[in-house]
Homo-oligomer: A and B are copies of this chain.
């Protein structure tokens, strides 16, 4: 926080970085509260207090409550997009790819306080449009893998949409009961979820 003022190249003390870090902290604190209580049941004052700040201080870092919610959503989708890309290159059957991806998803959601929030109704206009678009993108990517798996025989033939919605539901529900530091670790849940997902859809061809 304090940098030496002497002659050489004093570590730049990047103010932007400081600001960005605090802004991130605000969004994560809010996200954690939204996850547990829901967007509308969490006031800006609560968020502020959880960080030891006053409400107005929050508005130094964010423009509005809606913007916080938007960023909570986008952060998760960004992380998921990365996982999707990572899996794209993989060799293996559709089922294998899906296992890898799903495991990453569970780990994401049980680490770092990232949460798939259901609250999209709290967003308006472009915020809403963008979030729905991003969610659709993830969904389509997963569905594509499932369809590929059905083609190569690693996944049992069925309606792809229903198949996907079934195990994606488990991810969305996860946020409402998972407690970091509870009896079950994210790792354990990831293992169990992947196993159950896999067994649920595995096809005839091994």
Residues of chain A whose beta carbon lies under 8 Å from any beta carbon of chain B: 37-41, 118-119, 121-122, 156, 158-159, 161-163, 165-174, 176-177, 184, 188-189, 192-193, 195-197, 199-202
**Bound Cα distance A92, B185 (Å):** 34
Interface of A is mostly: helix
28 contacts between A and B (CB under 8 A): A37-B121, A38-B121, A39-B40, A40-B40, A40-B41, A40-B121, A40-B122, A41-B121, A41-B122, A118-B176, A156-B199, A159-B184, A161-B184, A162-B188, A165-B177, A166-B167, A166-B196, A167-B196, A168-B173, A169-B170, A169-B172, A170-B170, A170-B173, A172-B172, A173-B173, A196-B201, A197-B200, A199-B200
Nearest B-chain residue to A158, judged by Cβ: B192
A62 to chain B, nearest CB (A): 20
Provide the residues of chain B in CB contact with A156, threshold 8 Å.
Answer: 199
**Bound Cα distance A193, B40 (Å):** 31
- A170→B165 contact, CB < 8 A: yes
**Bound Cα distance A111, B16 (Å):** 54
Nearest B-chain residue to A172, judged by Cβ: B173
The number of times this chain is found in the oligomer is 2
Provide the residues of chain B in CB contact with A193, threshold 8 Å.
Answer: 162, 166
- Across the A-B interface, give the 6 residue pairs with the lowest CB-CB distance, nearest first: A169-B173, A200-B200, A40-B40, A41-B121, A169-B170, A38-B121
- A163→B176 contact, CB < 8 A: no
With A170-B169, A172-B169, A172-B173 as contacts: A118 and B121 at CB distance below 8 Å = no
Provide the residues of chain B in CB contact with A119, threshold 8 Å.
Answer: 38
Provide the residues of chain B in CB contact with A163, threshold 8 Å.
Answer: 192, 196
**Bound Cα distance A161, B39 (Å):** 27
A41 to chain B, nearest CB (A): 4
